[in-house]
Each structure stands twice: as structure tokens, then as C-alpha cells.
Structure 1
Amino acid sequence: MACAAVVLTVTGLLGTATGAAYADDPKPPTKGAPAPADDSDAQRLDDVRKKIDALYRKAEQATEAYNAAKEQVELQQKEIVKLARTIDATQRRRTTLKRQVGALASAQYRGGGLPAEAKLMLAANPEGFLDNALLARKGQLAAKRLISQLTKIQGDLESYSHSATDRWERLEANRKKKENAQRDIKKKIDAAKELESRLAAKEKDRLKKLEDEQAFKQQQKWLDSGILDEISNTASAPGKKAISYATAQIGKDYVWGAEGPDTFDCSGLTLRAWEHGGRTIPRTSQEQWRQLPHVALKDMRPGDLIIYFTDASHVGMYLGNGAIVHAPRPGRQVTITGAGTMPILGVVRPDGDARHDDAAH
């Protein structure tokens, strides 16, 4: 937390009126300030901002879909390898059993294949035959068990074969999802970059200011709700470690699908941060939202993860004082910004417990 406080203070991210944090601390528009010389040009630039935001939002949605498919591909590959080893061991066991059954069949053939009753009637020494009847019975039971085992193993192999086919089909389906998401990400990012490339240098500066002003308004609206008056919890020991890791990544580039150590996407950053805090959490923001314990916004504490947008496609780590650290989008770096700059879906706690599951609803 000391590390986070230093970063917040040095970069001038703490608001003077509310004590809230916001990246670059843009100033709200001054009342009575003169309107831009060309309102139509300002509107055009704002339209460009909205289009670029929408494209990057779609790219982020595709990124989380890519991350989910990639995780499933890796999991299914491991399952297929494990299943292949099981099939190989079962086939070797079946070969051994077949050999044993064959040996029993050969022994029966050499014995004439007569049933036990016929051998009793024809035996020159019936007493001797009866002495061996118990051993013969044990042999029959052993043969039945052997055949039963062979039948079961044959069934297991068929089941494993169907399972392997199913896993391969799911693997291929997820590979296609991953490839489609990858193409979609590239398409959206290229389109956003193309829009930005058409702007002159001055317009790009104005575009950045427009982004900051919009984020400032959203943050201020969130703060005006009085939410910080209710949030006063402190970070847990694992949470402090996670915060320390996350804030140490500030300035590193956002790269979709990246989990560090040099680049990150939004959920890749929270994954590694909480791994540093001693907790294993899901890879994607959607699964973090689905699997981790929920907490009410008023009960939020530093280290908790704030999930954004109705589709849970973005995540940031709460630092306290109304701020989060997150990996925003392509073309940006890991940074600190206001927790209310995006629509909040809810809050999850990686080191929480299941009793909080319904707290946020």
C-alpha cells in the first residue's frame, strides 16, 4: 500500500476535493469557458473517439474470448495426452490377458476338451480324479475371472476411444474459436489504428484530452454517489502482495493475450498479481467474475478485483481512495485510473470465501 500511495502522490492522481484518484488528473471544463472555434470539428472528433472506444471494447471482448479458448485448448491437450497414456496401458493389459486366455484354451485342447463329468466316468481312478476336482474348479473360476477382466478392459478401451474422439472434437472447436477471436482482435485493432492514423498530431492530442475528460466525468459521477464514504476497509496480507506486484508493472505495454512478465492484458495482470499474492485465480475476467467470491461494493477493500461491463470483459485491481490499477487496451500501458471510469458490474475477492457469493446482488 505504501508503494501504491507513493505512485498516486507522485503522479498527481489524487483529486483535491474528494481524495479520489484518476489518471493524468484532467481538469473539468471551466464554467464560462469559450466554446471551440469549430463546433462541427469538435463533434467530428468526439464521434471518432466513440468509434475508437467501441472498436477497442470489441477487441477486448475478443481478447477474453481468445484467452478462454486458449486456456481450454491447453487443458484439452493435457487431457488427451493423459488419455493416450491410459489407452496405451490398457492395451498392454489387454494383450497380456489375451495371452493368458489363449494359454488356457490351448491347455483345454490338449486335455481333449472333455467336460469334467465325462472325465469322471472314464477315469481309471475315480478317487484320484475327485481329489483333483477342487483344483479343476478353481481353474474354471480363474478362467471366468480372466475372461471377465478381458471383457471389461475391451469395454474400457471403447469408452476411452469415444472419449478421445470427443476431446479431439472439442479441441478443434476451441482452436477454431481461438483463431476466430485472434482474427477479430486484429481486425478491430487495425480499424482503430486506421482511424487514429487519419488524425493530425494536434487532433491526436485533442482526442486524448477528450478521452480523459470523458473518463473524468464518469469517475466524478461515481464519486458523487458518496460511495467512498462507505468504503474504508484495508487490504489483507495477500492483497498487499498482489497490489505491490500490480503497481510494479505500471508503464508496461498492454498486449492482448499477454500474462507478463513484460506485457499484460487486463486479466493477465490480475492473474499474475494474485499469483504473487499466493492465490491461483481463473485466467479470464469472465471466469474471475463467475468463480471468485462476490462482495458488495461498499465492502470492497484494496486488492479486490472490480469487474467491468455487463459481459465482464474488463477487470482492474482496487487500490483504495477510488483508484484502480489496470491494463487498459492496446496502445496503452498499465496505469492507475479512477475506479468509476467504466461501468462496474461488481467486485470479487480472490482471497475471500464462498459465504460472500450473494453479497453483491
Structure 2
Amino acid sequence: MQHGRKRLSTALVGLTLVGAIGLIPTSPAQAEPDIDDVEARVDRLYHEAEQASERFNDARIELADLQKDLAALNADEDRQDARLDAVREQVRDSVVRQYEGESISAVGQVVVSDDPSAFLAQMTTMSSFDSVQDELFDSYTLETKALDIRAQAVAQRAADVAETKEQLAEEKATIDDKLAEAESLLDRLETEAREAVVSRDSSARTAAPAPTSVPASGRAAAAVQYALAQVGDAYVYGAAGPSAFDCSGLTMMAWAQAGVSLPHSSSAQFSSGPQVSSSDLQPGDLVFYYSPISHVGMYIGNGMIVHAANPGSGVTTAPVMSMPYVGAVRPG
């Protein structure tokens, strides 16, 4: 009888376990991502995209320089080719005359020359025709070597251009991938949560409304006025206005209003003027962030900068030390 009760108890335990297992979901529902975690990851992706964007800007500047070099080398090669053709023609005529048994003395050259005095002035001695031929062939050899050197330089520059274009394509793909990943993270959130992330990102970078006026003077005043007028505009990687900017595009266009030409690159702009300490910042100074440098803003006074922040914040203001500070320069 006890054995029967034991079998019944075992069966009931088995049924209980089966029922419990049946209540366990076959695939757990995907947990909603934590807003703080998403915000941090989106910020990181935006920054990685900006790093790629600034490398893209650097490569674009390099490509423009390489293309100028290539055009100059091509023109130089064409001139050298023309000189070689001229010498080649002289050599051919000389070979033909030699083959026909013609031997013109130096005195004869003076006689048949259109300008005998000029011919004599070019000759230090009354050399033989064979000597003149030797010089001609030496000239041909020299011009051929010169053309070969220029051709090699052209080929190298052309290879550099192709490599830089590949780098541009790679950086553009990186930008697109990082933005797509950030958008995918935001899409996983409900509408309200997504708006909260974007709003918190914007408010975290903006400590106060943009000032209506900044005590700047000279050319810096024009640069600051332009930059502040763009607050609220969109952030677009590689853009330089009129209604969207990236960080170096904004500072480049702002200083252009003051007649100062800056490259469209934060790292290149770091060499655009003398460096100034953080304690000596004046409105209009450019302030740089991250190592290697991948972001730039413009100081507007009271410990604040105006900058094109990221796609979530656009052009806005922020505390000067709100990002990893590297240094500052004073253009103009």
C-alpha cells in the first residue's frame, strides 16, 4: 500500500513539473532597453560618427591638394614631353645626315647659320661636327631621364589620389553605419522614451539660452555673430551651411564672415592661429576637444561655447568644459 502511495506521489510531482514548464514562455520577451544606457550608447555612436566625419574632412582636403599636385605634374610632364620631342627631332635629323654621309664642319655651320654670331657665341671652341652630335645625344638622354622622373611622379600622385578616394568612401560608410546603429537603438524605444533621450541629450549640452549679444570686437565679432545666428540649425556630417553644419563647418563659415579662411577640419583648424590658454579665452577663439582632435566649438564668453554638437542637438551652446578639452587657438 505504501508503494502505491509513493507511485501516486511521484506521478503528481511529475504532473506539477510539466504544468510549471508549460507556463514558462518558450522565448522571453525582449526587454525594453534602459533609457540611460541607450542615451550613453547613442552619444558614443554620434561621437564615433563625428570622428569618422572629421577624418573624412581631412581626407577631402588632402584629395584637393593631391589633385592640384597631379595637375601641376601633368602640365610639367607635357612641357618635358614637348622638349623631348624637339630634341628627338634634332637627333633624327642628325642621324639622317650621318647616314647620308654628310659631314658639316663647325665653320660650315657658321656659314649656313641664319645667325652666325649667335652660333659662335654658343660655342666655346671651333669643335667638329661629331662633337656637336655628341652633345645632342647627351641632351636627348638627359631629357628622356627628366621625362621619366616626371612620369613616375605623376603615377605616384595618381595612386595617392585613388587611395585617398578609397579612404573617403570608407569614412563615409563608417558615418552611415554609426548613424544607422544610433537610429536603430532609438527606434527600440517607445515614442515618449525616445523623445526623452533626445531632450535630455539636448538639455545636457545646453546650459543656458544663446546670448543675444557677446562683447566681441574686430573680426571676432562678425564670426561670433554668425555662429550664434545658426543656433537651432541642424547638424549634418560634412555640411557647412546654409541651414546645416558639422562642427568644423560652422566655425569655418563663421570666420569666413570676418574674411578669415579656415580649412573644413577640426584638426586642421587647430593650426589656424596662435594657441591661447583656457584662462585667456576671448569670444571668437576656437576651442578643441578629444584626442585625437575631432570636435571644435567657438568661445562666446562666460564659460560658454557655441558649436554644432551632433544630430540630436544640432547647433547649440554648451559649457566650455562639457567635453574633453584639448586647447584653443585665436584665428585671424
TM-score over 0.5 (shorter chain): yes
The answer as to 2:66 corresponding to 1:76 is yes
Match of 1:90 in 2: 80
Letter matched to residue 272 of structure 1: M
Residue pairs, 1:197-216, within 5 angstroms = 197-212=187-202, 214-215=204-205
Residue pairs, 1:138-217, within 5 angstroms = 143-212=133-202, 214-215=204-205
Distance of aligned partners of 1:275 and 1:141 in 2 relative to their CA distance in 1, 3 Å threshold = farther
Match of 1:255 in 2: 236
The DSSP-based 3-state class of the residue aligned with 2:34 is helix
Partner Cα separation in structure 2 for residue 234 and residue 139 of structure 1: 81
Match of 2:42 in 1: 52
Partner Cα separation in structure 2 for residue 251 and residue 43 of structure 1: 29
TM-score (norm 2): 0.75
Letter matched to residue 243 of structure 1: V
Letter matched to residue 271 of structure 1: M
TM-score (norm 1): 0.70
- Gap runs ≥5 in structure 2: 1-30, 107-122, 209-213
Letter matched to residue 267 of structure 1: S
- 8 Å Cα contact 1:234/1:301 also seen in 2: no
Partner Cα separation in structure 2 for residue 111 and residue 341 of structure 1: 88
Which deviations, in whole Å up to 9, do the C-alpha atoms of 1:46-99 show, x marking residues without a partner? Answer: 111101000001000010011111222222222222221221221112111111
Indicate the structure whose relative CO is greater, using CA pairs within 8 Å and at least 6 residues apart.
1
Which of structures 1 and 2 has the bigger CA Rg? 2
Range with bigger deviation, 163-172 or 143-152? 143-152
Match of 1:334 in 2: 315
Distance of aligned partners of 1:241 and 1:42 in 2 relative to their CA distance in 1, 3 Å threshold = farther
Aligned residue pairs: how many? Answer: 281
Partner Cα separation in structure 1 for residue 168 and residue 179 of structure 2: 16
- Alpha-carbon offset, residue 108 of structure 1: 4.0
Distance of aligned partners of 1:243 and 1:163 in 2 relative to their CA distance in 1, 3 Å threshold = same
Distance of aligned partners of 1:147 and 1:314 in 2 relative to their CA distance in 1, 3 Å threshold = same
Partner Cα separation in structure 2 for residue 202 and residue 46 of structure 1: 14
Q: 1:274 aligns with which of 223, 246, 255?
A: 255
Match of 1:298 in 2: 279
Partner Cα separation in structure 2 for residue 321 and residue 138 of structure 1: 85
Letter matched to residue 73 of structure 1: L
Distance of aligned partners of 1:201 and 1:287 in 2 relative to their CA distance in 1, 3 Å threshold = same
The DSSP-based 3-state class of the residue aligned with 1:312 is coil
Q: What's the RMSD between the two structures over aligned residues?
A: 3.0
Range with bigger deviation, 185-194 or 257-266? 257-266
Partner Cα separation in structure 1 for residue 190 and residue 270 of structure 2: 40
Distance of aligned partners of 1:213 and 1:254 in 2 relative to their CA distance in 1, 3 Å threshold = closer
- 8 Å Cα contact 2:251/2:298 also seen in 1: yes
- Gap runs ≥5 in structure 1: 1-40, 117-132, 221-232, 352-361
Letter matched to residue 55 of structure 1: L
